Amino acid sequence: MRKTIATIAFVILPAAALAAGVRVAGPVAELDPPIHDFGTITQGVLYRAEVILRNGGTAPLEVRAVTSDCGCTVAELADSLLAPGEATPLRFSFASRSFSGKIEKHLFVETNDPGAPRAILTLKATVRTYLRWEPRALEFGNVPLGQSPRQSVTITSALRDSLEITSIDAPSDLFAAEVRREVIGDSLRHQVEFRLRPTAPPGWFRSHALLRTNHERVRQLQVRLSGQVHAFFRIEPSAISFGQLRQGTARTRELHLIGTGEGRHRVTSVACGDQRLVTAIRTVAEGRRYAVMVTMPETIPIGIVRTELHVATDDPAHPEIVVPVRGRVRPAPATDEAEGQ
């Protein structure tokens, strides 16, 4: 029982000594304070601050590195070797351009402190944006030919900024755009509605809309627009991706053509722009569903494969379906024998 009590006392004594201002044997890294809160800050501004790094031990403290978990934060230390009781400022900056809302980042001070070789400085802030828009991508999904779905982007700014959407640059053959504006408290809200034109041709679309503004800091906003206009056949997936292959290996991908609506239509042939790739058609349900197999053979040399798959159908509204095909062949790993030479 006495031995247990003595052990507990040994553990508690150093903490009591620190509270009383007694230095612990060896180097001790102390950050004062260990947390820095920038408070509410503005997006796009570079903020600077500093805290104190102190050696609270009895031996020299050596700072070996100062790192961060984010490229937005850069730190600078005046002295890398601190005598017992000595202190130095740790200066740092935070670039708020890419953030909004509440954030938390960290600086790591690597030292020869045996008890805590990595001292952590926590940085906090609430970043106020000049303006906020969401969503930043509109996915229209599968749209039957002739239909005209609508989706909107909401842009919120401070009322005092008097934001205006001066122009909208979107593919005119695919979309019509309309802007509605309203005041909500001390905020100004713009709702930009994109309507897919009923005359949009069949096929996949992947494009962008640029919204230009009169804001001195945010001159334009970009919104991604994507989806598929289909006639009788809807295709899945939207593209064939082989990813990255090692040289000397083969891989096969499938494309599905799914019949929609009334009637029946057939897939009549398939061809690939890159004739090195092998294609085949499998009938899942005659007139309703087909699978197209595309194989990248093992003989494809090192390099990037970028081509298109052309699927012919007897649907007069969409006689040819074009699908992008992508892949990359990388060198085969060296053999153990080659690595040893």
Boundaries of every domain in the chain: 25-128, 131-230, 233-330
H runs (alpha helix) in the chain: 2-19, 336-340
Query: Which pLDDT score is estimated for 23?
Result: 60
| Residue 141: both structure tokens together | 């999904």
pTM assigned to the model = 0.59
Query: Which pLDDT score is estimated for 24?
Result: 65
Query: Which pLDDT score is estimated for 334?
Result: 65
Nearest C-alpha neighbor of 229 from the set 207, 254, 211, 262: 207
24-40 burial code (b ≥16 CB/10 A, e <16): beebbbbbeeeebebee
Do the first three CATH levels of 25-128 and 233-330 match, i.e. the same topology? yes
Domain at 25-128: CATH code: 2.60.40.10
- Give the CATH fold of the 233-330 domain: Immunoglobulin-like (2.60.40)
Query: Which pLDDT score is estimated for 42?
Result: 79
Separation of CA 197 from chain center:
30
Query: Which pLDDT score is estimated for 6?
Result: 35
Q: What is the pLDDT of residues 157-203, one digit of tens each?
A: 888 889 999 999 999 999 999 999 999 888 899 999 999 999 999 98
Q: Tally Cβ neighbours within 10 Å of residue 273.
A: 13
Nearest C-alpha neighbor of 233 from the set 260, 205, 268: 260
pLDDT < 50 regions, the chain: 1-20, 336-341
Query: Which pLDDT score is estimated for 216?
Result: 81
**How would you classify the pairing of strands 150-158 and 267-272?**
unpaired
Q: Kindly state which CATH superfamily the domain 131-230 is placed in.
A: Immunoglobulins (2.60.40.10)
